[in-house]
């Protein structure tokens, strides 16, 4: 007896075979009855149709959080499996979760980083809302607690270890000992120097990504990524500090934060971060 012909498709980025002539709505009834949104080849598809060879389908119930395996499959398809496997094993430390650190954490959570260790002693205040990744209803919360809340809404499977503490020479090695790459995301020069000195002394073989010179609204292309010595990657223009008349603003801080996040990613993948 001859077998019925089949076609190869993807369901939530996973390869599958279905009988030729299968319709989109029939597939929904089998795999996720009651799905509110049907995405066919990257676009919402409210109408029924007959599936074709190579079609890619995603079914979504509004308010439903995908399981870990489903979300990882969807992300791995964007990153390639080899890249995603490295990312989800990685541990990254972030000292300071203000304008830089909160944006870096969100960028890394969106790519599915395995674990973030974040530390900051501050709370969310109104002046932070001009550039930091918090919301008006989070005013007064410790920044690390507010960030944890926001990251859990983006990717609940990223492990986040929070420390509501002022960093010093003694606790920096204890808090960040497990990281693969360290990120400096402070505003003040003395805090930056303290972190770099303490971390590099304790972990001379580990990389640290720092930022300096990103205030105001100078051109985005003046912010660059430079490798300094064996351990340090420096992001910024190295000149434009916050001062009266030249404040920290969301666009340029965001450019620098994503330079830092991309430098972290390249370091984790064994690539040269300079020029990223």
Q: HEC string of 226-242?
A: EEECCCEEEEECCCCCC
Statement to judge: residues 12 and 85 lie in one domain: no
Task: Give the position of tokens 């790459």.
Answer: 181
Same domain, 169 and 32: no
CA atoms 250, 175, 196, 263: torsion sign:
negative
Are β-strands 37-40 and 6-11 bridged in parallel, bridged antiparallel, or unpaired? unpaired
Among candidate residues 39, 64, 89, the one where a domain is terminated: 64
Residue 71 lies in a domain: no
DSSP assignment of 184-228 equals E--SSHHHHHHHHHHHHHH-TTSEEEEE----TT--GGG-EEEEE
Same structural domain for residues 91 and 220?
A: yes
Same domain, 110 and 41: no
Q: Quick one: CA torsion of 102, 206, 272, 184, rounded to 10 degrees?
A: 30
Question: How many domains, the chain?
Answer: 2
- Whether 151 is in a domain gets the answer yes
pLDDT averaged over consecutive 10-residue blocks of the chain (276 residues)?
81 92 95 92 91 93 88 79 90 97 97 97 95 96 98 96 97 98 94 96 97 83 92 88 72 94 96 78
Shared domain for 116 and 211, answered yes or no, is yes
Q: Looking at the structure, tell me whether residues 49 and 132 fall in a common domain.
A: no
Q: Residue 140: left if φ>0, alpha if ψ -120 to 50, beta else—which one? A: left
Instruction: Say if CB 84 and CB 106 are below 8 A apart.
Output: no
Q: Which secondary-structure segment (H or E) carries 140?
A: none
Asked if residue 254 and residue 117 are part of one domain, the reply reads yes
Q: Are residues 95 and 153 in the same domain?
A: yes
The predicted structure's pLDDT at residue 242:
67
pLDDT at 246: 67
Q: Is residue 160 assigned to a domain?
A: yes
CATH assignment of the domain containing 146: 3.40.50.720
Which residues, at least 6 apart from 162, have a Cβ–Cβ distance to it below 8 Å? 118, 119, 144, 145, 147, 148
pLDDT computed for residue 276 by the predictor: 47
Q: Is 69 a domain residue? A: no
The answer as to whether 91 is a domain residue is: yes
Residues 175 and 254 in one domain: yes
Q: What is the CATH classification number for the domain harbouring 40?
A: 3.10.20.30
Range of the domain at 27: 6-64
**Are 46 and 88 part of one and the same domain?**
no
Whether residue 53 lies inside any domain: the answer is yes
CB atoms within 10 A of CB 179: 21
* Residue 34 lies inside a defined structural domain of this protein: yes
Chain-centre distance of CA 108, in angstroms? 2
- Tell me what pLDDT residue 1 has: 46
Question: Could you tell me if residue 72 is inside a domain?
Answer: no
For residue 176, count other CB atoms closer than 10 A to its CB.
26
Domain identity same for 47 and 168: no
User: Do residue 121 and residue 184 come from a single domain?
Assistant: yes
């Amino acid at each position: 007896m001859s077998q019925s012909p089949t076609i190869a498709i993807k369901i939530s980025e996973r390869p599958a075979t279905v009988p030729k002539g299968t319709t989109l709505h029939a597939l929904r009834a089998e795999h996720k009855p009651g799905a509110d949104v049907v995405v066919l080849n990257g676009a919402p598809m409210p109408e029924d149709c007959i599936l074709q060879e190579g079609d890619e389908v995603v079914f979504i119930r509004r308010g439903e959080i995908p399981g870990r395996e489903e979300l990882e499959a969807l992300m791995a398809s964007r990153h390639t499996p080899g890249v995603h496997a490295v990312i989800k094993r990685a541990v990254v430390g972030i000292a300071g979760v203000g304008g830089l650190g909160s944006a870096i954490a969100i960028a890394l959570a969106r790519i599915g980083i395995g674990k973030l260790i974040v530390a900051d002693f501050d709370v969310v205040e109104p002046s932070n809302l001009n550039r930091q990744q918090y919301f008006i209803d989070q005013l007064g919360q410790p920044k690390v607690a507010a960030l944890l809340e926001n990251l859990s809404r983006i990717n609940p499977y990223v492990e986040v270890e929070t420390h509501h503490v002022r960093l010093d020479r003694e606790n920096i090695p204890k808090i960040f000992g497990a990281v693969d790459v360290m990120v400096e995301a402070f505003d003040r020069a003395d805090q930056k120097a303290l972190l770099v000195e303490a971390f590099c002394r304790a972990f001379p073989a580990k990389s640290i990504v720092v930022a300096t010179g990103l205030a105001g609204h100078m051109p985005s292309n003046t912010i660059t990524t430079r490798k300094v010595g064996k351990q340090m990657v420096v992001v910024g223009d190295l000149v434009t500090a916050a001062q009266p008349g030249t404040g920290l603003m969301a666009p340029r801080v965001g450019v620098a934060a994503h330079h830092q996040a991309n430098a972290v990613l390249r370091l984790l993948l064994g690539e040269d971060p300079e020029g990223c």
